[in-house]
Each structure stands twice: as structure tokens, then as C-alpha cells.
Amino acid sequence: MRVGEPATESAAPAASRPALRSVAFPAPVDLSILVVTWNSERWIDRCLDAIPAACDGLAYEVIIHDNASADATLRHVDASIEVHRSNDNDGFAAGTNRAFAASRGKYVFLLNPDCELGPRALTLLHEFLGAHPHAAAAAPLLEGDQQREFQLRRLPTLASFASEVLLLDKLFPRNRTTARHRYRDAELTGPERIEQPAAAALLIRRDVMEEIGQLDEQFSPAWFEDVDYCRRLAAAGKEVFVVPAARANHHGGASLEHVPFARFIDLWYRNMWRYGKKWLSAGDAEALRWVVIGGMLLRCIAAVAGFAHPEVGRWRALRAYAAVLKKAFARWDESSPSSS
């Protein structure tokens, strides 16, 4: 129709046209809290109940990736929380990757279900990263039995691996290698740069995660995927801090409750070997294999004597260590189903 011409009968009156519908976009969020669960019924209530007070003043979302829990974990989750459920146990790395893909926050917080955040813990971490643009990630200080040495470590070397695998840290607990590896000299009176804080509770900038990429799913179902990720952050020149003013109570061992001893021992040393192959020199990776062989021989002797994990039983412990010994000699043949 030209300007100035009267409307023809074919033009529909405005009242008869379909009304335009407004599209509701999700409200922006400051951070996304990613929780990977697997038979976490015993812990999930405390974890989720602590989040609102920990996020004081922040807009946040909680995304749960459930790795085929067989217990009542998801019956404890409020309907307002976004849940993605897998048909199989995808592992921590894969579960985190899938939850991250569904998230929207400018910051992403990795949270274990057995971790109970203190009041304003995430608010303080968010403020720290906001005030320190050079920092890529920040962690609260974990409280609980032996949590400091669990949480705060330097990136592993052949020497630090040998100290633990050959039980030198048990025989000589004050040795310099172990003390340095576990930051025993850190005063923690304020924020400190840490090479490898545990991913039980870790706030990361979204753009950093997009730059570094997903967690490496070869470390499945658990252990060493967070060590690997911190190594990748360090390789990219990223800085990670622990902020002691932010606190969290980490009960620890939630996954181990459902993993038989032999399975855990198998996974731990297999993923240690995978980390060594990925990040150590070829010579050091081969030396690590022999360190594991020596460590398993020591543990076999200790198991027969009844010293190694008496709660498991000497013969079960012996079979578990002998199985790892056999795989170490075979270089953990990745083509074998038994190594997965």
C-alpha cells in the first residue's frame, strides 16, 4: 500500500491480528553452582541448605548432575533446582562438564555434595575475584580433620609422588619434600596463591573455563582430574588463590563410601599413572611406574603383617595391592577392559 492511499478491504483490522507475545528471558545470575552427585543421600541436605547463606547478596543458580544414584539423593532436591540425570556413572569430570554446559553464571563454582559452605563463603570469593582481575579462581578454606593437607598442595612432581607412594611421608612426616608439597609453611592469615586447591569447593571465572576447556574425562570416574585442571591453569599462566576468610566444612570421603577398597586402589594408581604420562617427562613417568611397583611391594608386605588397612583385612588388602602391582608391570594396558 502506498502512502496516502486508503486501506483496502484485504487489510486485516488491528484487533483481529494475533497479539505479540513477550518472550521471558532467564534473569542473569552472578554465579552457577555445579554439584555432581552419586549416591549422596547422606550429604546433600546439608550441602544445599547452606547455599543461600553462603551466597548472601548474589544471584545464583544451582545445577545438579546426578550420576545414576541408586539411593534417595534426588528425593532430597527441591523442584526449583535444575537436575540432569545420567543413566550411568559418568564420573566427576564428565558430570561437571555437562553441568557447566547448562550453566549461565559469570562465575562457576564446583561444589562437592559432602561440602557445607559457611555463611557468605561464596560472597567473599566473588568479591575477591571481582577485586583481583588477575586471579582466575579462588577457593574457601576447608575445615575438618586433615582438610588443610588434603586441600592445599603444590602440583605433584616425581619426588612428591615418591614420598607418598613409598610411604616416606609416613616414616618421615617432617621431610622437606612433603612439607613443601603440602604448604605447611603457609600462614593463611590472608589470601594466598595456591598451585593446586582441591576442587571440592572452587570458584572459577567462566571465561577462564571456556579458555582452558573442559575437565579431562580420561580421569574417570574420579581422582586427579582436579590436579590435571590446576596444572592446565598453571600452564596457561592463570593464578589460583585460597581465601581463608571464606570457610567450608568438608566432611570428605563421600565417594569412598560406595567404592570398594580394591576398586579405589586400582583407580587411584591408574589415574596417577595417567597424570604422570600426561605431565611428567618420559623418563620421570617411567620412574613413577617403578615407584608404584616399589610402593605396592611395600604395601603387600605390610598387608601380610597386618599393618596395612587392618579394617579391610590382610588378604583383601594384599589382593588389591597385588592387582595394582600386576597392572604397573603391564603399564596399565589401556586396551584391557580390566584397566578401566
Nearest to 202, CA basis, from 135, 271, 269? 135
Cell of 335: 586396551
Cell of 152: 592445599
18 upstream amide cis, omega within 30 of 0: no
What CATH number has the domain spanning 31-157+182-250?
3.90.550.10
- What is the structure's pLDDT at 139? 98
Task: Name the helix (H) or strand (E) containing 227.
Answer: helix 225-235
State how far the Cα of 43 lies from the Cα of 250, in Å rounded to an integer.
10
Let me know the angle formed at the C-alpha of 101 by 37 and 196, rounded to the nearest 5 degrees: 65
Helix 261-279 to helix 158-165 angle (10° resolution) is: 160
- What is the structure's pLDDT at 145? 75
State how far the Cα of 194 lies from the Cα of 234, in Å rounded to an integer.
10
State how far the Cα of 17 lies from the Cα of 301, in Å rounded to an integer.
85
Residue 76 is classified by DSSP as G
Contact 207, 181 (CB under 8 A): no
Model-wide pTM > 0.85? yes
- What is the structure's pLDDT at 93? 97
State how far the Cα of 64 lies from the Cα of 12, in Å rounded to an integer.
49
- What is the structure's pLDDT at 337? 41
State how far the Cα of 179 lies from the Cα of 169, in Å rounded to an integer.
9
- What is the structure's pLDDT at 144? 78
State how far the Cα of 276 lies from the Cα of 270, in Å rounded to an integer.
10
Show me where the domains of the chain are located.
31-157+182-250, 260-339
pLDDT in tens, the chain (340 residues): 333 343 444 444 444 444 444 445 577 899 999 999 999 999 999 999 999 999 999 999 999 999 999 999 999 999 889 999 999 999 999 999 999 999 999 999 999 999 999 999 999 999 999 999 999 999 999 997 789 888 999 999 999 999 999 999 888 888 889 999 999 989 999 999 999 999 999 999 999 999 999 999 999 999 999 999 999 999 999 999 999 999 999 987 676 778 899 999 999 999 999 999 999 999 999 999 999 999 999 999 999 998 888 888 889 999 999 999 999 999 998 644 444 4
- What is the structure's pLDDT at 132? 98
- What is the structure's pLDDT at 27? 77
Within a 13 Å sphere around the CA of 201, how many CA atoms are in the beta-carbon half? 32
- What is the structure's pLDDT at 3? 35
